[in-house]
Amino acid sequence: MKVSCAVEVKVAHRGHAIAFGALEEHQERALLLAADRGMYWKISDDTFGQKPFDGFIFCAAPAYVAILWPRTTLNPNLETLTVLRIQDWISEREAALGRGEKSLFRERAIALSQLK
């Protein structure tokens, strides 16, 4: 089954963790809207080159934060991609902040990832 979705892609430059602040407030709001009530996004007419069409409409679509974890000295041949539902990102952030943590760690992201 094919399904459209909304995705915000981040790169964990530190390799072992990504700050929850990497997802900006307007990005979180848009992902939540796409996953809930729906949202429309107009592609600017000022963009260079051809546009595929005028805009997007997401109605109760899955919404994700995708994180690319670069190779590390422990895993020099492996890049990892984790894909977290926006609701899981927010829940994990709230729990982590309650513990005084400001970042999502690679191992936890792997455990929460929708890609297995």
Average pLDDT over residues 18-30: 97
- 58-67, 71-80, 96-105: lowest mean pLDDT where? 71-80
Is residue 92 within 8 Å of 112, Cβ to Cβ?
yes
Global pTM exceeds 0.85: yes
Average pLDDT over residues 38-49: 88
**Cα–Cα separations (whole angstroms), residue 78 to 9, 70, 71:** 18, 7, 5
Query: pLDDT at residue 116 above 80?
Result: no
The average confidence (pLDDT) of the chain is 92
In degrees, rounded to 5, the angle at the alpha carbon of residue 81 between the alpha carbons of residues 77 and 84 is 155
Ramachandran angles phi, psi of 83, nearest 5°: -130, 110
Nearest by Cα to 18 from 113, 108, 105: 105
Q: Strand 103-105 relative to strand 17-19: parallel, antiparallel, unpaired?
A: antiparallel
Average pLDDT over residues 5-12: 96
Q: State percent of the chain over pLDDT 70.
A: 96
Average pLDDT over residues 11-20: 92
